Copies of this chain bind each other. A is one copy, B any other.
Amino acid sequence: MKNKRIVIIGGSAAGPKAAARARRLDESAEITIFQKAPDLSMASCGYPYYVGGFFDDRNKLLCTPTGVVRDPKYYLNAKGIDAKVNTEVTRIDRKNMLVEFKDLTTGETGIQPYDKLIIATGSTPKMPPIPGIDLEGITPLQSMQNADYLRKIRDDKSIKKAVVIGGGLIGIETTEALNLAGIELTLIELLPQLLTFLDWKMAKLVENYLKTKANVITKNGVAEFIGENGKLKAVKLANGTEIPCELAVVAIGVTPRVDLAREAGLDIGELGGLAVNDYMQTSDKDIYAVGDCIEVTNKITGKKVLAPYGDLANLEGRVAGENVILNDVATFKGTIQTGICKIFDYGVGITGLSEAIAEKEGLDYIKVVNASPDKPGFMNGKLLITKLVAEKQTGRILGAQVIGPGDVSKQIAIWATAIMGKLTVDDLANNDLPYAPPFSLAIDHSIATAHIMQNKMRGLFDGISALEVKEKLDKNERLYLLDTRGPDEYEQTRLGAGETLIPIGQLRTRIQELPDDKSTPIVTYCKISLRGYEASRVLKAHGYTNVKVMEGGIMGWPFEKEK
Contact = CB atoms under 8 A, between A and B. Distances in A.
Interface string A269-309: 00000000000000000000000000000010000000001
A9 to B, nearest CB: 20
A25 B451 CA distance: 14
Interface stretch (A107-115, A199-207, A238-246, A336-344): A336-344
A55 B436 contact: no
Contact of A416 (B433, B509, B527): B433
B410 A421 contact: no
B311 A504 contact: no
* A57, A413, A447 — most chain B CB neighbours (10 Å): A413
A310 interface: yes
A347 B540 CA distance: 45
A43 interface: yes
A440 B43 CA distance: 13
A437 B351 contact: no
Nearest to A333: B430
A20 B489 CA distance: 23
A413 B414 contact: yes
Interface in A50-96: 50, 54-55, 57, 60-61, 63, 65-68, 74, 77-80
Contact of A27 (B61, B315, B409, B537): B537
Interface string A300-342: 0000000001111111001100000000000011011111111
Given A24-B460, A347-B439, A505-B78, A431 B417 contact: yes
Interface in A455-511: 460, 485-486, 489, 504-506, 508-509
A19 to B, nearest CB: 13
A136 interface: no
Contacts of A43: 376, 378, 437, 442
30 contacts: A24-B533, A25-B460, A27-B540, A28-B541, A43-B437, A46-B378, A55-B379, A65-B528, A66-B489, A299-B432, A311-B443, A319-B430, A333-B430, A335-B432, A338-B432, A338-B433, A351-B434, A409-B410, A409-B439, A409-B440, A410-B410, A412-B433, A412-B434, A413-B413, A413-B414, A413-B433, A413-B434, A416-B433, A417-B433, A421-B423
B45 A437 contact: yes
A407 B408 CA distance: 13
A64 to B, nearest CB: 9
A416 B435 CA distance: 12
Interface of A: 13, 23-28, 43, 45-46, 49-50, 54-55, 57, 60-61, 63, 65-68, 74, 77-80, 169, 173, 299, 309-315, 318-319, 332-333, 335-342, 347, 349, 351, 372-373, 376-379, 381, 407-410, 412-414, 416-418, 420-423, 427, 429-440, 442-444, 447, 451, 460, 485-486, 489, 504-506, 508-509, 527-528, 530-531, 533-534, 537-538, 540-542
Nearest to A47: B437
Contacts of A27: 537-538, 540-542
Given A66-B485, A342-B438, A413 B416 contact: no
Nearest to A505: B77
A57 B351 CA distance: 38
B45 A436 contact: yes
Given A28-B541, A80-B538, 5 more contacts: A43-B442, A310-B435, A314-B443, A338-B433, A339-B435
Contacts of A45: 435-437, 442
A421 B432 contact: no
A447 B437 CA distance: 26
* A55, A61, A410 — most chain B CB neighbours (10 Å): A410
Contact of A442 (B13, B66, B533): B13
B314 A442 contact: yes
Given A432-B416, A434-B349, A315 B46 contact: no
Contacts of A80: 508, 538
A489 to B, nearest CB: 7
A508 B169 CA distance: 42
A323 to B, nearest CB: 14
Contacts of A527: 65-66
A541 B80 CA distance: 13
A373 B64 CA distance: 12
Minimum-distance CB pairs A-B, first 7: A421-B421, A27-B541, A340-B434, A77-B505, A311-B435, A60-B378, A409-B439
Contacts of A379: 46, 49, 54-55
Contacts of A341: 436
A340 B439 contact: yes
Contacts of A431: 416-417, 420
A387 B542 CA distance: 54
A223 B68 CA distance: 54
